[in-house]
Structure 1
Amino acid sequence: MNSEKETFQQKNFISKSIFYRFSQFVGFLLGARFFIAILLTFALYVSTFFLFNQDETFRKFVFDFKVHGIIFCTVLTILAGGIINQFYDFEKDHIVKPFRMRLQSFIAQRYFLYVYLFLCIISLGIAWLISHKVFVFFVVYQFFMWFYSHKLSRILILNNLTFVSLTLYPFFGMMVYYETFSKKVLLMAVFLFLILLCIDIVKDTLTKSVDKAFGYTTIPNFFNNKATKGIIISLLIITMAVSMRLIMKTGISGFMAYYFSGGLFVMILCVYLLLNFSRKSKFITLNILRLWVFVGIIAMLLNGIESKL
């Protein structure tokens, strides 16, 4: 009888230990925004090969270790940025993201900081081996990642502009690396900037009260609902104008033409939803816009494959 009881206790201890380790692992992935980093890595590879890289063959691109090194440094920097951001937003996230914080509670905050420093050092080390210019590029990137989390995320308008700019910074780096400057690429960058800005402001409307309580001065808690709604709808209308410009003036074709044409209807739907400006309509709008960004990556991939065949 005692033997059976001891066996049961051992099994219970093992299962609890496995659950604890698994929770630590999941908590770390969420804290580092691992899944966002995967999406951005996918987007970087797609845009680099099919948009910025106009001349290289697929074989040459695969063996261009300098490009892979830059993208790898970008991924490490994004993971480090996610960690330092959750470190500064720790108290706020307890209210906004309780499930994630419950998982992260299995790991002491100091371990997140250790990993943050480790990722930054590895990223800068690899960047230094690639070239001094790449090293400076990532020093600037990491500095603004930290400065955004430490200070800029609490400053009106600068918080939104900096967040979106940091998201697009690696893509700008690849554009400079390949010297791909054209009207089409510029308008596509403006389109993406505007749609990400809309996403960030809509997201802020859903955390308005919490942001205000913790000292984050955002557009929704600085202006009234009517003004905030007007700002978001105006940005969506400008995004529609950029889409129309892309379709009519740049000769864009294939799946990307369908994407930007369909985007006009998506923006109109979002404007219609935001006229109500209820929490449900804002949540639906946020997820529609996020989904549309992902659809854009897939459209670029399909368009690129079609053009390469």
Structure 2
Amino acid sequence: MNSEKETFQEENFVSKSLFYRFSQLVGFLLGARFFVAILLTFALYVSTFFLFNQEESFRNFVFDFKVHGIIFCTVLSILSGGIINQFYDFEKDHIVKPFRTRIQSFIKQKYFLYAYLALSIISLGVASFISYRVLVFFIVYQFFMWFYSHKMSRILIVNNITFVSLTLYPFFGMMVYYETFSKKILLMAIFLFLILLCIDIVKDTLTKSVDKTFGYVTIPNYFTSKNTKTIIISLLMITMAVSMKLILKTGTSGFMAYYFSLGLFIMIACIYLLLNSSKKSKFFTLNILRFWVFVGIIAMLLNGIEGKL
């Protein structure tokens, strides 16, 4: 009888230990925004090969270890940036993201900081082996990710522009690396900047009161609801204008032409939802725009494959 009881206690202890370790892993992945990093890595590979590097063959691209090294450093920098951001936003996330902070509580904050330092150092170490220019590029990137989390995330308008700029910074680096400058790429960059800016401002409308409590001066908690709505709708209308320019003036064809054409209707749908000031409509708008960015990556991939065939 005692033997069975001891066996049960041992099994129970093992199961609790495994659950604890699994929770620690999930907490770390969420804290580092691992899944966001995966999506950005996928987007970087697609845009690098099919947009910035159209002359090189797939074989040469696969064995271009310098490019893979830059993307590897980017991923580590994104992970470290996610960690330092959640470190500074920890109190706010307790209210905004209770489930995620509950999972993250299985790991002490000091271990997140150790991970942040380790990822940053490894990233800069690999970058130094590639070239001194790449090293400087990532020093600037990591500094501004830290400075954004530490200070800039609380400053009106600067917070939104900096967040979106940091998201696009690796893509800008690849564009410079391949010296791929054209009107089409510039307009696509403006389109992506505007849609990401809309996403960030809409996201802020959902955390308006919490941001104000913790001293984050955002567009929704500084301006009236009517003015905030006007700003977002104006940005969506400018995005529509850029889409039309891409379709009519740059010779965009294939899946990307369909993407920008259908995007006009997506923007109109988002404007219609925003005219309804309910929290549910803002949530739908946020997720529609996020999904549309992902659709854009897939459209670029399919367009690139079609062009290579």
TM-score (norm 2): 1.00
**Which residue of the partner structure matches residue 135 of structure 1?**
135
Tell me the CA shift for residue 49 of structure 1. 0.1
Distance in 2, matches of 1:18 and 1:198, equals: 41
Tell me the CA shift for residue 183 of structure 1. 0.3
**Which residue of the partner structure matches residue 162 of structure 1?**
162
Tell me the CA shift for residue 75 of structure 1. 0.1
CA RMSD of aligned residues (A): 0.3
Tell me the CA shift for residue 178 of structure 1. 0.3
**Which residue of the partner structure matches residue 49 of structure 2?**
49
**Which residue of the partner structure matches residue 191 of structure 1?**
191
**Which residue of the partner structure matches residue 256 of structure 2?**
256
Paired AA for residue 305 in structure 2: I
Distance in 2, matches of 1:290 and 1:72, equals: 24
| Local SS of the residue matching 2:216 | coil
**Which residue of the partner structure matches residue 105 of structure 1?**
105
Paired AA for residue 232 in structure 2: I
- The 5-angstrom pairing of residues 144-183 of structure 1 reads 144-183=144-183
Query: Deviations for 1:156-178, whole angstroms, at most 9, x for unmatched residues?
Result: 00000000000000000000000
| Local SS of the residue matching 2:232 | helix
Determine if the alignment matches structure 1 residue 225 to structure 2 residue 225. Answer: yes
**Which residue of the partner structure matches residue 300 of structure 1?**
300
**Which residue of the partner structure matches residue 274 of structure 1?**
274
Paired AA for residue 68 in structure 2: H
| Local SS of the residue matching 2:29 | helix
Distance in 1, matches of 2:13 and 2:238, equals: 58
Paired AA for residue 155 in structure 1: I
**Which residue of the partner structure matches residue 35 of structure 1?**
35
Listed as ranges, the gaps of 5+ residues in structure 1 are none
Query: Deviations for 1:272-305, whole angstroms, at most 9, x for unmatched residues?
Result: 0000121000000000000000000000000000
Paired AA for residue 113 in structure 1: L
Distance in 1, matches of 2:274 and 2:11, equals: 53
Distance in 2, matches of 1:132 and 1:96, equals: 40
Paired AA for residue 257 in structure 1: A
Distance in 2, matches of 1:188 and 1:67, equals: 22
Listed as ranges, the gaps of 5+ residues in structure 2 are none
Distance in 1, matches of 2:224 and 2:52, equals: 41
Distance in 1, matches of 2:123 and 2:2, equals: 54
Tell me the CA shift for residue 16 of structure 1. 0.2
Query: Deviations for 1:111-159, whole angstroms, at most 9, x for unmatched residues?
Result: 0000000000000000000000000000000000000000000000000
**Which residue of the partner structure matches residue 246 of structure 2?**
246
Query: Deviations for 1:84-133, whole angstroms, at most 9, x for unmatched residues?
Result: 00000000000000000000000000000000000000000000000000
**Which residue of the partner structure matches residue 90 of structure 1?**
90
| Local SS of the residue matching 1:101 | helix
Tell me the CA shift for residue 8 of structure 1. 0.5
Paired AA for residue 156 in structure 1: L
Tell me the CA shift for residue 54 of structure 1. 1.6
Distance in 1, matches of 2:189 and 2:24, equals: 37
| Local SS of the residue matching 1:273 | helix
Distance in 2, matches of 1:301 and 1:67, equals: 18
Distance in 2, matches of 1:266 and 1:277, equals: 18
Distance in 2, matches of 1:11 and 1:97, equals: 33
Distance in 2, matches of 1:246 and 1:215, equals: 39
Tell me the CA shift for residue 205 of structure 1. 0.1
Query: Deviations for 1:242-262, whole angstroms, at most 9, x for unmatched residues?
Result: 000000000000000000000
Paired AA for residue 120 in structure 1: S
Paired AA for residue 157 in structure 1: I
Query: Deviations for 1:57-105, whole angstroms, at most 9, x for unmatched residues?
Result: 0000000000000000000000000000000000000000000000000
| Local SS of the residue matching 1:288 | helix
Paired AA for residue 172 in structure 1: F
Distance in 2, matches of 1:132 and 1:2, equals: 66
Distance in 2, matches of 1:188 and 1:131, equals: 28
Percent identity over paired residues: 84
| Local SS of the residue matching 1:299 | helix
Paired AA for residue 290 in structure 1: R
Paired AA for residue 70 in structure 2: I
**Which residue of the partner structure matches residue 70 of structure 2?**
70
| Local SS of the residue matching 1:251 | coil
Distance in 2, matches of 1:120 and 1:24, equals: 21
